[in-house]
Amino acid sequence: MPRVQGFKAIVIGISTGGVETLKALLGALPKDFPLPLIIVQHISPGSGRGMADLLDEVCDIHVKEADEQELPVGGTVYLAPADYHLMVEQDGKLGLSTDPPVNYARPSVDVLFETAAEAFGKGLVGVVLTGAGCDGSRGLKRIKAMGGIAVVQNPEDAAASSMPNNAIMAVTPDYIVASADLPRLFIKLSKSE
pLDDT digits (tens, 9 = 90+) for 55-96: 999 999 999 999 999 999 999 999 999 999 999 999 999 999
Is 56 a member of any domain? Answer: yes
For the sheet containing 62-65, what is the strand order?
62-65, 76-79, 37-41, 9-14, 124-128, 149-153, 175-177
Is 1 a member of any domain? Answer: no
Active site residues: 15, 42, 135
Query: Amino acid letter at 72?
Result: P
| Alpha helical stretches, state H, the chain | 18-27, 50-58, 109-120, 137-145, 162-170, 182-190
Listed as ranges, residues in the chain with pLDDT below 70 are 1-5, 48, 193
Is 93 a member of any domain? Answer: yes
Say which CATH number the domain at 115 has.
3.40.50.180
Is 4 a member of any domain? Answer: no
Is 178 a member of any domain? Answer: yes
Is 21 a member of any domain? Answer: yes
Structural domain of 31: 9-191
pTM: 0.95
Is 127 a member of any domain? Answer: yes
Q: How many domains does the chain have?
A: 1
- How far apart CA 62 and CA 155 sit, in angstroms, is 28
